[in-house]
Chain A
């Protein structure tokens, strides 16, 4: 049998580190080249095993286990440390989110508009009026709604700053008098109590027209008129 036929069996015997079969043994005894090849294979596998053992059985560094124990300790400690913090962070985030949703700009505008709509009810008069009485006696009438605390929709920001101050509507001819009155009151230390009277809406009154006065008509029956026509006396009357 040629040597090539024994090659596979030879390698397997070396790989399994087992004794060669009787047939292979007899061939190895007879063939010097196959015997050398078998020795080479055994040498190769021994080198492989040695290399594998060398890389698989390296000494564990003495610092390894203490290092692992320390990392385990850190892991448990950080877990303990982070747990309450995470709970607190989650609670804080929930609060911040709630506050943000409640105070976001869209909500604020809606709220303002609601207030405006509420304040713009027809029964209310948001403007202050200081007018003279019809009788001509100087008097100051201040409405209880004279404070324009609510910002106007189209007002400039500068106006909004002064919107909380008192604004009073005064007739042009009484302006100076009113300024003098205010100045005189500012010099006094005691609190000014204004006489408040209900505002009279005089706009319509100024434009009003006197009603026409029509004399009472005397209506007489037509038959009676027809009988009186020839004379012409009743028609003249």
Chain B
């Protein structure tokens, strides 16, 4: 005997409407988090790249990626940590690719892109040495150092953000600063010049 199925054509429209409503709610939720975490993503990228334009691009890309996968994020309270990791990873990748590009441009005897006036103003001799020493740090130490240096984030918050015990964050911070001091001790004289 043939099986009959009752179909309600209005259901499709209802379903579409429900989907649109859910998408709008998701967008609103993301917008709220964007205002809170957007600057953090930018600062993480800026801390790694030390270039405003690149940092803006990377932070935007990180936020876009986060938005595309936001629906799949089960624990929304972890959004900030998630975004920080995405931004940090993208910034590291960008640094590596720009280093490769610099090598290519050197080979082709082309001048490297000039930093903006703002970037030049923020750079001093000691800061340049510090930036170079930062680049040589292990990534896990670098991220802890960067987040701990940000205003408004305590070590407890950094530990929560990175999903690490507070002790681990403290020890990473200690070793990172010590490594920096060892690298920069010979440039200590340049501090007085500032």
Contacts and interface: CB of A to CB of B under 8 A. Distances in A.
A and B associate = yes
Interface in B70-111: none
Contacts of A225: none
Residue from the set A40, A68, A72 with the largest chain B CB neighbour count within 10 Å: A68
B31 A69 contact: yes
Contacts of A14: 181
Contact of B38 (A49, A52, A64, A75): A64
Nearest to A63: B56
Size band of the interface chain A makes with B: 20 to 34
B43 A56 contact: yes
B contact face: mostly helix, strand, loop, or mixed: helix
Contacts of A56: 43, 46-47, 146-147, 149-150
Given A15-B174, A75-B67, A58 B46 contact: yes
Interface of B: 23, 27, 30-31, 34-35, 38-39, 42-43, 46-47, 50, 52, 56, 59-60, 63-64, 67-68, 122, 126-127, 130-131, 134, 145-147, 149-151, 174, 177-178, 180-181, 184-185, 188, 191, 194
B177 A45 contact: yes
Contact of A51 (B38, B42, B126): B126
7 contacts: A49-B177, A56-B47, A56-B146, A56-B149, A64-B56, A64-B59, A67-B60
A54 interface: yes
Given A44-B181, A56-B150, 7 more contacts: A15-B177, A47-B188, A49-B177, A52-B146, A57-B151, A60-B38, A75-B67
Given A54-B127, A68-B63, A40 B188 contact: yes
Contacts, number: 110
Nearest to B35: A65
Contact of B39 (A40, A45, A60): A60
Interface of A: 11, 14-16, 40-41, 43-45, 47-49, 51-58, 60-61, 64-65, 67-69, 71-72, 75-76
A41 B181 CA distance: 8
Contacts of B67: 72, 75
Closest 6 CB pairs of A and B: A52-B149, A56-B149, A51-B130, A60-B39, A47-B191, A56-B150
Contacts of A71: 60, 63-64
A143 B171 CA distance: 106
A68 B38 contact: yes
Contacts of B47: 55-56
A196 B149 CA distance: 107
Given A45-B181, A64-B38, A16 B60 contact: no
